[in-house]
């Protein structure tokens, strides 16, 4: 949903990159750097959709993990508990694992900070890499993704998120905050 007509704003749904193409590109970036034992963890909800695709495309044997970082968010005292918290599930041994966190949009870095804290409550990984479909800048913490589908200069008044239709096709969507 757009609050401003496209001519008043540099962004429109039409101008957004194709999420499926970005994902293909992201998978090829990641491919040389993983083994079948790499522990892949997607962050709810968009990151899980991407992680499922990456996990399948790269023939990872280690089962896919998912994180809902609600219990680790730093804005809990301001915003309270979110209505629909999902369960985190990390079904492999985190101790000593080489891991890849997957998220749809990298912005302030606070979600990734929360995800790192949560993962360390499962064990002590050997290393953690980060993959994001979109890096929209605006970082508030010293966090960077090794694998990025595309950087996109989204204005601070707007949100960008991943959607998935019933056929499983991924797309990017803009909305105003």
Partner 1 sequence: MWLDPSNPQLNTNGELHHLLSLEGLPAEVLRQILDTAVSFAGVTQREVKKVPLLRGKAVFNLFFEPSTRTRTTFEIAAKRLSADVINLAINVSSQSKGESVLDTVANLAAMQADMFVVRHAASGAPHLIARHVAQDIHVINAGDGRHSHPTQGLLDMFTIRHYKGDFNQLRVAIVGDILHSRVARSQIHALTTLGCPEIRVIGPKTLLPAQVNRLGVHVYPDMHQGLKDVDVVMMLRLQNERMNGALLPSAQEFYKNYGLTDDKLALAKPDAIVLHPGPMNRGVEIDSSVADGKQSVILPQVTFGIAVRMAVMSILAGNS
The contact mask relative to partner 1 for 49-88 (x = CB under 8 A, - = no) is: -------------------x-xxx---xx-xxx-xxxxxx
Q: How far is the CB of 109 from partner 1 (least distance, A)?
A: 18
- In angstroms, the CA 156 to CA 37 distance is 38
Cα→Cα distances 118→30, 41, 101, 121, Å? 23, 12, 12, 5
Q: How far is C-alpha 137 from the geometric centre of its chain's CA atoms?
A: 14
Which residue's CB is nearer to partner 1, number 94 or number 100? 94
d(CA 90, CA 121): 11
CB of residue 66 vs partner 1: minimum separation in angstroms?
10
Residue 89 touches partner 1, criterion: CB under 8 A: yes
Distance from the Cα of residue 165 to its chain's centroid = 18
Q: Is 153 a residue that touches partner 1 (CB under 8 A)?
A: no
User: Where on the chain is the footprint of partner 1 (CB under 8 A)?
Assistant: 68, 70-72, 76-77, 79-81, 83-89, 94, 117-118, 120-123
């Amino acid at each position: 949903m757009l609050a401003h007509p496209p001519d008043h704003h540099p962004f429109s749904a039409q101008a957004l990159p194709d999420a499926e193409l970005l994902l293909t590109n992201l998978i090829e970036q990641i491919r040389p750097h993983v083994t079948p034992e790499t522990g892949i963890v997607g962050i709810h909800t968009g990151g899980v959709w991407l992680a499922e695709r990456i996990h399948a495309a790269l023939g990872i044997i280690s089962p896919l993990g998912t994180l809902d970082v609600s219990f680790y968010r730093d804005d809990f005292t301001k915003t309270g508990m979110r209505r629909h918290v999902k369960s985190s599930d990390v079904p492999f041994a985190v101790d000593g694992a080489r891991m890849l966190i997957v998220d749809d949009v990298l912005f302030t870095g606070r979600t990734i900070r929360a995800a790192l804290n949560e993962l360390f409550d499962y064990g002590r990984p050997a290393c953690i890499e980060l993959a994001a479909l979109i890096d929209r800048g605006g970082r508030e913490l010293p966090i960077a993704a090794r694998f990025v589908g595309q950087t996109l200069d989204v204005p601070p008044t707007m949100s960008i998120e991943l959607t998935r239709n019933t056929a499983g096709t991924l797309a990017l969507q803009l909305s105003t905050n």
